Amino acid sequence: MSLRRSVVQLFEAVERGSWLRFLFAVVGLSLAFAAALLSTAAREAGDALTTVIFASFALLLAGTVAITTVPRLVRRVARHRVRDSLQYDITREGVGYLALTLLVAIAALNTGNNLLFIVVAAMLGAVLASGVVSGVMISGLEAGVHLPHHVFAGLSYTGAVLLHNRRRFPVFSISVVPPRQKAGRPSWNWQRSEFVFPKAGSGREPLLRWPDLSLTRAAAPPAEPPVFEQSVYFPYLPAGYRQSAAVNLCFPRRGIYSQRGVGISTRFPFSFLGKTRAVTLDQEVLVYPCVEPTDALLEVLPLISGEMEAHVRGRGSDLYLIRDYAPEDTARHVDWKASAKSGELKVREYTREEEHSLCVIFDNPAPGVLDEAHYEQAINTAASVAWHFFQKNADLSFAAPGLIPGSDVYAFLEYLARAAPGDSDGFLAMQSGASRYNIIVTACERGQIPTALWQSSWVIFAQD
């Protein structure tokens, strides 16, 4: 019963389309074989026409199976072997060694000396042994990459490359290298068009118009930027052990960086040939925008802090002003020294730091409003302001087109890391009724900002 269940599960694990292609191949090749036998019998009987018909039918069936079915089945069988595909790079030492082997082989053929033939055999045996040993070294190894959790553009970080030896014997001289970047290939696509005769621009009315198809060439997709681009060397890895090596990481721009694979390479033992085995990975790191404040931003940060404190005053640790005593004031805030000098009761008023409510608003412009340089500058400005006040432990909130309300600073930075120009028409008008102090990064003109926002906002214009 268990054997029957195993067989059923095996059949269910395979796609129905693959079984149909396999059966089609078996039936097609069987008919082709039968047609070949009939053509042979017709040839022996002297019937030339029947021989040609059956032979052509057999070739047609075999060719159809070879073109339509066999490549699909081969790709499906070999799909799981992609991760173990090997790449070979001949080294300078290997070129010199093979050249020396060739010279010794020519000398052995010219002289007929048995000792030279033995030397040539030993040299070729060393090449074969090197290939076998290097293949054994890189098989059974697993590699991975450990990445930081929060990454900002322009800053240096330390990651780790992990190598695990699952074999029962140690390995030597292993390098973990980044995969080779393959240039994307342009694709050709059929698109609907219209045939016009005569063509436009000839100055005459078109006489003929009917739907047509045109073959257009699409540009190759850009290659994804890798996480790291340097190799990491492991001189020795014991059996069953896992080791890690530090790797320096620095990402120049915001966005997503992906590591789709790495290569496990070795030249052990004789460095005749560099052999690399591709290992599939699927790791991504989201790089936040740069949060280092620029000189221009450092100049306006004290002004922003001053206006924010003027907007919300209250009880805190920083002195805001000394004013006349009011009946609702408590006695503990009376400044006796200032009262003695002036002859009237004076009280101290402090900034309400613990109740600061600051909202950072990023008004994402529509496509074409800003060029790429100014758009990236606006992204970095919003990220720098948010990170600055986050480190000051301010009560922060964030707003942007498409941003989920109540997001924290990391969700806001993730939004900025993935942001692209979009439609935000009327977004600032929706923020004008909130009772908080706002820092707005926008590409709008000064006259397009709602009047209600000017009284409780500091506006940073992306085009300035």
- Residue 182 pLDDT: 57
β-strands 242-250, 141-146: how paired?
unpaired
- Residue 17 pLDDT: 61
Maximum Cα interatomic distance, the chain, rounded to a whole number of Å: 137
Backbone φ and ψ for 260, nearest 5 degrees, come out as -85, -10
Give the three-class secondary structure for 73.
Answer: helix
Backbone φ and ψ for 172, nearest 5 degrees, come out as -130, 150
Token pair for residue 383? 């990220």
β-strands 156-165, 273-288: how paired?
unpaired
pLDDT in tens, the chain (464 residues): 455 555 445 445 445 566 677 777 778 778 888 888 888 888 888 888 888 888 888 878 877 777 777 666 666 554 544 444 678 888 888 888 988 998 988 888 888 888 888 988 898 888 888 888 888 888 888 888 888 888 899 888 888 888 998 888 888 989 888 876 655 555 566 667 777 766 665 566 676 777 766 666 665 555 567 787 788 899 998 988 888 888 888 888 898 888 888 888 888 888 888 888 888 888 888 899 998 887 767 777 766 666 555 555 444 456 666 777 776 676 667 777 778 878 788 877 765 544 457 888 888 888 888 888 888 888 988 898 888 888 887 788 888 888 888 888 899 999 999 888 876 666 676 665 555 677 888 877 776 777 666 666 777 776 66
Backbone φ and ψ for 85, nearest 5 degrees, come out as -70, 140
Measured between alpha carbons, how far is 443 from 363 in angstroms, rounded to an integer?
Answer: 7
Token pair for residue 379? 């992204």
- SS3 string, 295-323, reads HHHHHHHHHHHHHHHHHCEEEEEEEEEEE
Token pair for residue 193? 């068009």
Measured between alpha carbons, how far is 80 from 93 in angstroms, rounded to an integer?
Answer: 33
Supply the DSSP string of 394-413, one letter for each residue. -EEEEE-TTPPTT--HHHHH
Measured between alpha carbons, how far is 264 from 164 in angstroms, rounded to an integer?
Answer: 11
- Residue 40 pLDDT: 82
- Residue 186 pLDDT: 56
- Residue 431 pLDDT: 64
Measured between alpha carbons, how far is 420 from 349 in angstroms, rounded to an integer?
Answer: 45
- Residue 394 pLDDT: 78
- Count of C-beta atoms within a 10 Å radius of residue 288: 24
